[in-house]
Each structure stands twice: as C-alpha cells, then as structure tokens.
Homo-oligomer: A and B are copies of this chain.
C-alpha cells in the first residue's frame, strides 16, 4: 500500500494483546503499509479488523508470507512449531520472521527444525509486556513504550535481519536488549515464571477450601497485588512452564529450600533471623523500585 513505510507488509500470527499491540504501535508510528492477520478463529480476527489492528484477514498463507517484510509469530508458545512448519516453505528472500514467545530455547529448537537452511531469516525475540488481560480488545498502541524487548539472535542471523527486528520494536517505543536464549530462559524462570507459579499456587490452594468465601472476604491490598498474576492466561502459562520446565524446576527447588529455611526460623521463633531476612528483602526491593523509577 504505502510504499514509503519501512515495512510494506507485516503479517501477524495472532492478533491478540501481543500481536495486536505490535500492529497498532507500528501503525501509530507510520511504519507499516499494511498489516495482515492469521489466527485460530475467524471471530477474533474479525474483531481485530474492526478495532483497526488488521487491514486484512489473511487467506493464503504462502502468498502473504512470501511478500511480507516482517512476520511476527504471536500465538501461544505451544503453537509456534505448527506455524513455523507452515510458513517455512513460503519465505520470500526479503522476509524476516520473529516471535514474541516468553521462552526462547524451545522456540529456537523448533525454528531450527522447521526453517532448516533458512534459519538465518528467523530472529527470536521476547517483548516483556505481560498483562493479565488478553485478546484483541486489550491491545493498545503504547503497550511496549519504555518496556524491554529481549532479542536472542542466532549465529546465522545476518546484521540486516537483526536490524529489521530492532527497527520494528524501536518504532513501538521499546528498549531493546540482547541475551543468549539460554541466559534469557534462566533469568525469566527466576523473575517471571516462578512468581507466576507461586501466585497461581496460593490462589489455587485457597480456592479449594470450604471457607474460601470467608478468606477471600478479608483479603486486602497485599493479597490483591501478590495475586494479580494469578489471573494470567492458563494456557499461555501452561506452555511457558512446559517450555522452560528444567530452568523452572531448578528455580522452584531453590525457592523451596528458601521456604524450608524460613520455616525452621519460624518454628524456632528466631525473630532475629526473620527480621534479617525481611530486612535484606526490603532493601533489595526498595533499591530495585528506585532504580526502576516509574517503569
């Protein structure tokens, strides 16, 4: 359409919160000619069309992908492999593919399997902008503003492909970082996947009790914040847990050891040790909050 935009055609697989916000941000920045969407249900794609996220709902995957400058895979992690298998034979010589998966080693393994000799055209990425809401209706053009996007480039990626993905995320207002896929998965197991598991576990445990109504009735703002992430998408988090299973198991075991030690201190009524642990945690949390500012 608009030949002047850096990205003539962008194809998104999944036009929900993540893919939809990406499309809206590129459009708001005047960076894209047209956005074409594929997805699991026609209903959600039509909704994305009505919301101005998509210009067209795609019909012929081969044709759309061949002529695309950039393809974003923004479906649940568990579906990445299937999508890759379908698009791999159709890549144009200029097509760059990226993804938005919360885990990276599994995505890279799937990409190597499906893209084969064209793996250089796939640049893995993870935008860190979770939200407990999902779907096209939750998408917004400013979701990625001042948020981090982690690229985990492959040795096979050429500079131009990496620059293409960086440019797209920069146009969304994101701060771009690079890690190896393995580093990425270990870091996010600790600071994201484990907290989600812990929060789900607490709410699930309480929800199974006979007196749950009474308990929830007295839960206040501390509970609200601690459990906000327990309202996250079950299917998405199932896939993340399975994809990053080994790193997450390691984090879970470290955390259980920490809880065991705290239990011992509590059992022994060791107030000095409890206060010391709480004090170290408080300082670290406050320092983090201050460094982070409003983000």
CA distance A219 to B229 in the complex (A): 14
Kindly state whether residue A85 has any CB partner on chain B within 8 Å.
no
Q: A99: shortest Cβ distance to chain B, in Å?
A: 18
Contacts A223-B195, A267-B249; A277 near B218 (Cβ below 8 A): no
Q: A151: shortest Cβ distance to chain B, in Å?
A: 13
Contacts A187-B218, A269-B245; A203 near B285 (Cβ below 8 A): yes
Chain A, 241-256, CB within 8 A of any chain B CB: 241-242, 245, 248-249, 252-256
A266 contacts B288, C-beta separation under 8 Å: no
Chain A, 179-199, CB within 8 A of any chain B CB: 187-188, 190-192, 194-199
CA distance A286 to B234 in the complex (A): 13
Tell me which of A58-66, A115-123, A257-265 binds B: A257-265
Residues of B within 8 A of A227 (CB): 195, 285
CA distance A231 to B222 in the complex (A): 11
Q: A241: shortest Cβ distance to chain B, in Å?
A: 6
A231 contacts B199, C-beta separation under 8 Å: no
Chain A residues within 8 Å of B, Cβ to Cβ: 128-131, 147-148, 150, 177, 187-188, 190-192, 194-208, 212, 214-216, 218-235, 237-239, 241-242, 245, 248-249, 252-256, 258-260, 262-263, 266-267, 269, 271, 274-286, 288-289, 291-292
